[in-house]
């Protein structure tokens, strides 16, 4: 999972947007979607126009309280939201924390934390990040990308050509071919996030 950047100059903050349980949240949803560049905060899969998406309240205990705010709201695929465990865990690492990617460690399709980092472990457990099927999907995706690069005679340490390969995917088929951003970042040593434009 990749850290979700929360912007100090977000329109959610400047427009003082609130989540309304029984109201229209399309403006809030649109801004969050754009800031997340169209990717689900939990699955790191692109949310296409055919996907049901939710405004997720990461800490469900804050929903409909005065403490519910921008830092607790994320855009996620509906199914990923449903699969999040109902057992809230504390203490927990927040998805926007600066040191997120130092504490949630990626290795070969799976995520790990240091043994004494209870907050990070709780996040991994809460979102079921190491579900066997999810790990296998990430591993197969990376293998397909590596195979495709090698078929183009691009060595796996050729950063510039790897970036060009992924830029083509971003520009031409982002919905179908770009997913698991953290895995791409770690496996190919590229800053895939900054290659992707904000969605309109």
The Cβ of residue 194 has, within 10 Å, a number of other Cβ atoms equal to 8
Domain shared by 25 and 119, yes or no: yes
Q: Residue 66 in 3-state DSSP?
A: coil
Q: How many CA atoms lie within 13 A of 199 on its CB side?
A: 20
Domain shared by 150 and 94, yes or no: no
Domain shared by 95 and 156, yes or no: no
Q: What is the pLDDT of residues 110-152, one digit of tens each?
A: 999 999 999 999 999 999 999 999 999 999 999 999 999 999 9
Residue 37 included in any domain: yes
Domain shared by 113 and 21, yes or no: yes
Evaluate whether 42 touches 77 at the Cβ level (below 8 Å).
yes
Predicted confidence at residue 102, as pLDDT, reads 98
The rounded percent of the chain whose pLDDT value lies above 90 is: 93
Choice between 86 and 98, residue whose per-residue pLDDT is larger: 98
Predicted confidence at residue 62, as pLDDT, reads 96
Tell whether the model's pLDDT for residue 200 goes beyond 90.
no
Domain enclosing residue 103, as ranges: 11-126
The mean pLDDT of 63-85, rounded to a whole number, is: 93
Which of 126, 154, 186 is a domain's end point? Answer: 126
Evaluate whether 111 touches 104 at the Cβ level (below 8 Å).
yes
Domain shared by 20 and 70, yes or no: yes
Q: What is the pLDDT of residues 150-173, one digit of tens each?
A: 999 999 999 999 999 999 999 999
Residue 126 is encoded by which pair of tokens?
A: 């809460």
Residue 2 included in any domain: no
Domain shared by 67 and 160, yes or no: no
Residue 150 included in any domain: yes
pTM greater than the 0.85 cutoff: yes
Domain shared by 162 and 98, yes or no: no
Domain shared by 88 and 167, yes or no: no
Range with lowest mean pLDDT among 28-32, 46-50, 103-107: 46-50
Answer whether the bond into residue 91 is a cis peptide, omega within 30°: yes
The rounded percent of the chain whose pLDDT value lies above 70 is: 100
- Look at the chain and report how many structural domains it folds into: 2
Which of 103, 126, 149 is a domain's end point? Answer: 126
How far is it, in rounded angstroms, from Cα 170 to Cα 53? 21
Q: Where are the alpha helices (DSSP H) in 94-158?
A: 100-103, 118-126, 132-151
How far is it, in rounded angstroms, from Cα 120 to Cα 132? 19
């Amino acid at each position: 999972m990749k850290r979700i950047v929360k912007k100090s100059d977000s329109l959610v903050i400047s427009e003082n947007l609130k989540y309304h349980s029984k109201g229209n949240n399309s403006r809030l949803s649109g801004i969050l979607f754009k800031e997340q560049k169209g990717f689900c905060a939990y699955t790191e899969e692109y949310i296409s126009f055919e996907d049901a998406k939710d405004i997720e309240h990461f800490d469900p205990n804050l929903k409909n309280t005065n403490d519910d705010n921008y830092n607790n709201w994320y855009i996620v695929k509906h199914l990923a939201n449903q699969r999040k465990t109902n057992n809230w865990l504390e203490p927990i690492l927040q998805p926007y924390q600066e040191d997120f990617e130092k504490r949630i460690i990626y290795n070969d399709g799976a995520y790990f934390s240091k043994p004494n980092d209870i907050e990070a472990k709780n996040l991994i457990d809460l979102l079921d990040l190491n579900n066997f099927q999810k790990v296998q999907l990430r591993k197969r995706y990376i293998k397909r990308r590596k195979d495709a690069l090698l078929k183009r005679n691009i060595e796996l340490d050729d950063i510039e050509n790897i970036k060009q390969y992924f830029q083509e995917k971003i520009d031409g088929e982002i919905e179908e071919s770009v997913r698991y951003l953290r895995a791409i970042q770690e496996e190919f040593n590229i800053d895939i996030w900054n290659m992707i434009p904000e969605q309109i």
